[in-house]
Structure 1
Amino acid sequence: MDQLINLISFPFRDKKWIIKLLIGGVLSIIPIINFFSFGYSYHIFKEAIEGKTAYLPEWNQWDFLFKKGFYIFILGLIYTILPSLLIMLSLSFMTLKGPFFILGFLLILISIILYIAVLFFFPTAIALFAKKENIKDALNFSFIIKSTINFCPDYFKPFLTGIGIIIVGLIIESILGSIPTLGWLIFFFLNFYISIILARLFGEFFLRKKL
C-alpha cells in the first residue's frame, strides 16, 4: 500500500507540479501537439527504467519530447490497428441480420481480447524501445511475447495495478464528465496524470528485469 501511495503521489512532491501537469494536460488536448505529452510520459518511463529518482522533469528538450512522443504514437498505432479494424468491421456486420450479426458479435469479442493483449504486452515493447533506442526492437513481437510471459507471475502486479488505476480514472471521468466544459477538461488532465503514473509504475518494474 505504501508503494502505491508513493507512486500516485510522486508528481505532487514537485514544487511546480501544478504548472507541469497543467502544461501536459493542455498539450494532450491538441492532436499532433500531444506528441509532446506522450514524449513527457516516455521521459518519466525512461528515467524510472534507469533507476533515477521519481520526479517531474522540466518541460524542456522539446525536440526530444516530440520525437519520442511521435515514436510512441506510431507504436501505439501499430499495436492497436488490428483490433481497431476488427471493431469497425464488426460494427458494419452488426447492422445486418442473421449470421452477419452473429459474426459481428464474435469479431467484437475477438477485438476485446486483442485489446487486452495489447495492454498486456505493450509496456514490454516500450521498455525495449527505452533500453535499445531502436523502434525495430519494439516491433519484435515474438521476443516481446516470450519476455513478458517469462516475467510472470511478477508482471501481474504492475499490470493489475495499472488496470486498477485506469478503472478508477474511468470512474472519476464518468462522474465528472457530465459537468459542462469542466468535465471535458478534466478528462484530458486526468488522462495525462494517469499516463505519467503508469510510466513510472512500469519503468520501475523493468528496471529490475533484463531485456
Structure 2
Amino acid sequence: MYEHPDLPGEKERTIVDIGRAIGFIFQDQQWLKKVLIGGLLVFIPIIGWLIIGGYFLRLIRQVAEGRDLPLPEWNDFGGDLVRGLKGFVVGVVWSLPVIVLAVCTGALGAVGDSAGSDAPRAMAAVLALAGNCLSFLLSLVVAFFQPLFYSRLAVTERISDGLAFGAIFDEARGRFVDLLVVLLVAFVISLVASFGLLLCLVGVVFTTFIGYGMTCHLYGQVRRRITGTQAEPFAPSPAF
C-alpha cells in the first residue's frame, strides 16, 4: 500500500500543480508494468500509436475528474483505439494551418532548387525560411491550446467538443497563465525525456511515454480548474 495526498482543491492553488504531475506516475505500485506496456505499443506502427493516444485521453479524463491514481489499466484496447483515432482527427484539424504552410514551404524549396539562376533561388530560399519561422510560431500556438481541446475531447469523447473553437478560445482567455505554464513545462519534460537516448533508442521510448503521461496530467489539471471539479478519494492499485 502507498500513501499519497488527495489532489488539491482548485481554490487552493494559483497555478497547476507541477510537482504532482511529475511524481504521480511513480506512486502507482504497477507503474513499471503499465509504462512497459505503453512503451512496447510504440513499436506497433499506427495501431499501437492510436491506442497509446486513447490511453492518454483516459488519463486526462481521470485527472479532470479529480482522480489521478491508480493509472488507467491496459484493459480497453478497442476503446483506446477509437479514442486515439478521435484524438488524431482533432489534432490534425487544429494543425491544418501548420500542415498547409509546411507543404507550401516545401514547394518553395523545391522551386528554388530547380531554379536556373541565383536570384529566383535566393528569393525562394528567403520565402522558405520565412515560412519555416511562421510554421514554428503556429506550432507553438497549437501547442498552447492543446490542454483545452484534448481535455474537452477526453471528458466527452466527442470530436465536436475538441473542435469547438469559440468555446476553447473563451476558455483560453481565463486560463492564459495556466496554459503558458503547461506549455513551458511540457517543453522541459520533452527535453528531459529525450535523455533516454543516452540509454539507447529503446530507452527513449519509455522515458517519452512517462513524459507524455506527466504532460497529460497537466492537461487534466487545466480542465479540472476550468470546471471546478474537486478531488475525490481513490483506492490504491494492487501490488504487482
Shorter-chain TM range is 0.7 to 0.9
Match of 2:215 among 198, 204, 207: 198
What is residue 177 of structure 2 aligned with on the other side?
Answer: 153
RCO higher in structure (CA 8 A, sep ≥6): 2
Task: State the shift of 1:10 in Å.
Answer: 1.6
> Does residue 25 in structure 1 map to residue 39 in structure 2?
yes
RMSD, aligned CA: 2.1
Do 2:57 and 2:151's aligned partners in 1 also have CA atoms closer than 8 Å? no
CA distance in 1, matches of 2:191, 2:96: 23
Structure-2 change in CA distance of 1:188 and 1:84 (3 Å): farther
For 1:179, the equivalent position in structure 2 comes to none
* Structural mapping, 1:112-131, within 5 Å: 112-131=136-155
Q: Deviations over 1:133-154 (max 9, x none)?
A: 3111211223222321221234
Q: CA deviation at 1:4?
A: 3.4
The CA distance in 1 between the partners of 2:201 and 2:96, in whole Å, is 26
Q: Secondary structure at the match of 1:59?
A: coil
Q: Helix, strand or coil: the match of 1:30?
A: coil
1:41 aligned residue: 56
Letter of the 2:85 counterpart: F
1:55 and 1:205 map into 2 onto residues whose CA distance is 19
Normalising by structure 1, what TM-score? 0.86
1:94 aligns with 2:118: no
| 1:14-70 deviation digits (Å, cap 9, x = unpaired) | 222221101001112222222111111111100000111433121102222111111
1:144 aligns with 2:168: yes
Specify the structure having the higher radius of gyration (Cα).
Answer: 2
Look up the match of 2:22: 8
Q: CA deviation at 1:198?
A: 0.8
Change (3 A) 1:81 1:185: farther
Cα drift, residue 126 of structure 1: 1.2
Q: 1:158 to 1:62 in 2, by over 3 A?
A: same
Q: Secondary structure at the match of 1:86?
A: helix
**In the aligned structure 1, how far is the partner of 2:42 from the partner of 2:18?**
25
Corresponding residue for residue 66 of structure 2: 51
Counterpart residue identity of residue 110, structure 1: L
Distance 1:59 1:124 in 2: 25
**For the Cα contact (< 8 Å) 1:54–1:200, is it kept in 2?**
no
The count of corresponding residues between Structure 1 and Structure 2 is: 202
Provide, for residues 45-102 of structure 1, a one-character-per-residue CA deviation record: whole Å limited to 9, x for no partner.
Answer: 0000011143312110222211111111222222223313322432342351121111
Which piece of structure 1 moves more, 78-87 or 38-47? 78-87
Structure 1 runs of 4+ off > 4 angstroms? none
Q: Within 2, Cα distance between the matches of 1:40 and 1:208?
A: 22
Are residues 13 and 35 of structure 1, via their aligned partners in 2, closer, same or farther at CA, if it must alter by over 3 Å? same
- SS of the residue corresponding to residue 200 of structure 2 reads helix
Gaps of 5+ in 2: 1-16, 113-120, 229-240
Distance in 2 (alpha carbons) for counterparts of 1:4 and 1:112 = 25
